[in-house]
Amino acid sequence: MRHPVIIMADAREITIASLRQLKQSGEKIACVTSYDASFTTLLEQAGVEIVLVGDSLGMVVQGHESTLPVTMDDMVYHASCVARAGKTALRVVDMPFMSYSSVDQALGNAARLMSEAGMHMVKLEGGRELCDTVKALTSHGIPVCAHLGLLPQSVNQLGGYRVQARDPESAQRLLEDAQLLEQAGASLLVLECIPAPLAGRVSEKLQIPTIGIGAGPHCDGQVLVLYDLLGITPGKRPKFTHNFLEDAQDIPGALRAFVEAVKQARFPDAEHSYS
């Protein structure tokens, strides 16, 4: 099955402001992880608005069992590769495990990812406890993407990779955390592995865009790990993933199919969501 080529209008550079405009207009935002220059070029040609240099590279590239062994040097290296090829997409990078345990540490490491690695925004995992860090980063001109729900860097504390915020108390806390992080200055919010109705509530309450992964269809955008999208991640893949390469003729076609499915609100569907 062939998919139409999707190219961003006038190859515009995506900014925080344009992501807000997409949310306001109701157009879905497409985000995919990338760890190198070649895939970054293909992703931008497919029309992806956000390229995320994820610490998921620890698992899909380096072969670790979790993201925890990934270092700042690892992230700077891969982010730099992405930045050299990036022309249009907003470039977001994960701050790795224990690289933002204090405000001063966060400022130093985030500055390195922005100036040395060429990123546009840093992503942090955690709730209200990070509000002071978010305020400090944004006050120094460093945009922040927050991340709530399943937090891979806290997998040992959470007891494994499982759906979060299913009871009313934890759901309310997550909603409050999202609002507090927005007030602290976060420009974007990733919601991972939470019930779809809760993700919808959060998305409605916030002015900033929400990007879901395993959070149902009601977020303002969707993100997948590149290797999951292409069906090449070893072992059992999470419920919320889909192999877009199965029905495509090649990798560029699979990437375009993902963007098209997100834009047309066909992905994720109930099969890829949690209730």
Do residues 259 and 6 make contact, with C-beta atoms less than 8 angstroms apart?
A: yes
215, with CB counted inside 10 A (0-12, 13-18, 19+), is buried
Question: How big, in percent rounded to 5, are the helix, strand and coil portions of the chain?
Answer: 45, 15, 40
Do residues 119 and 113 make contact, with C-beta atoms less than 8 angstroms apart?
A: yes
Which residues on adjacent β-strands are paired with residue 21? none
User: Which of the 8 DSSP states describes residue 184?
Assistant: H
Phi/psi at 266 (nearest 5 deg)? -95, -15
- Which amino acid, 106? A
Do residues 256 and 46 make contact, with C-beta atoms less than 8 angstroms apart?
A: yes
Cα angle 258-259-265, degrees, rounded to a multiple of 5: 90
CA-to-CA dists, residue 135 to 124, 144, 180, 237, angstroms: 12, 9, 11, 36
Q: What tokens were used for 222?
A: 């969707």
Out of 169, 192, 246, 260, the active site residue is 192
Active site residue 271: no
Distance CA 14, CA 1 (A): 29
User: Which of the 8 DSSP states describes residue 154?
Assistant: G
Which segments of the chain does DSSP mark as H helices, in order? 16-25, 37-46, 57-60, 72-85, 103-115, 131-139, 155-158, 168-184, 196-205, 226-229, 251-263
Instruction: List the catalytic residues.
Output: 192
